[in-house]
Amino acid sequence: MRPPLTAWAPGRINLIGEHTDYSGGLAMPAAIELGVRVTVESVADGVALRSALYGAADPFAADGSGPRAEGWVRYGQAVARELDALGRRPVGLVAAIESDLPAAVGLSSSAALEVGIALALCAVAELELEPLALAQACRRAEQRAVGVPCGILDQAACVLGREGTAIVLDCATVEHRRVVLPPDAALVVVDSGVARALETSGYAVRRSELERALAVLGVERSTEVDAAAVDSLEEPLRRRLRHVVSENMRVTAFADAVSAGDLATAGTLISASHASLRDDYEVSTPELDELVNLAERAGAYGARLVGAGFGGSILALADTGTADAVAAAVVAGYAGDARAFVVHASDGAHVTTS
């Protein structure tokens, strides 16, 4: 595919199923209309990316080799390295990157950046990858770039998204099914203003604790755990695994409720997810708890922290007719500097030509 071309990669909102992906659990994400646009202007020997939003970036080799890049461009270099391992020809490019997706708020801006760059690199080298193969390459790139042992949730949602639908994803097998969201369901995201970076948060510690809990019980996947066996574990492993096992159950129940148009039950499950993330997985913050309480008092069906926690945003499930009022009430009542926006389930990553 010859330039000029544009790769679009959306962010995602995870409706329910948090911290389940890296134990082979269940999640229910949706791609959103906010994302990253990579506009390829020409083919080159190396890769030169520029972005007014992200700042200056040094070029790197088309196959991702060479000294480790610094800053945001390390994601691009890691993607190039992973694609090289899959047989991509070392074709470089010159591209401009734009984004309307807020960073560090739990909407997977890093996954969107990785997928956008990966699609552009594949397009200029005429390499076709199945969507989930590309998602897996980008997941590996994230770990290569910043050392975050993430699961497949974010990248899979980015490539599998479809307008008006969420995805029930088995994160071990990547089997998935789409669930149409009711037209009266509104997704309100409220940014707490507390930024977080996964590589410096407690994310890796939580994953290690969960893996230890699974090892004690002799299972590999959280969906294989007998709920009664969780109580045999010592703290904090018991609470870590209890969150994930109960969250897997909530994903299934939430999908059933949404399919039936029962937003009240769906909202109750979202609020229960937040309580579990706060008390058992301990990834919430006072600011996130405050936003959840404000959203529920403002008339949302339910609310919870979204993303890995330790800062970032909440998701409130509301009615389309009251979503704007809920968002305004939360922002007005919050002690900090919050911003809110309503997002919609949208199409996934794709490439277009001019």
Catalytic residues: 154
SS3 of residue 92 by DSSP:
strand
Q: How many CB atoms lie within 10 A of CB 165?
A: 17
Q: Please state, in angstroms and rounded to a whole number, the distance separating the CA atoms of residues 294 and 347.
A: 30
> What SS3 state is found at 14?
strand
- Using the Cα atoms of residue 279, residue 283, residue 288 and residue 292 in order, give the sign of their dihedral: negative
Our measurement of the distance from residue 202's CA atom to the centroid of its chain's CA atoms, rounded to an integer in Å, reads 17
Pair 137, 82: CB distance under 8 Å: yes
- Reading the block at residue 93, the tokens are 């490019």
CA 174 to chain centre: 15
Angle between helices 109-124 and 73-85 (to 10 degrees): 50
Fill in the amino acid letter for 53.
L
| Residues 79, 136: Cα–Cα separation, whole Å | 11
CA distance 193 to 104: 9
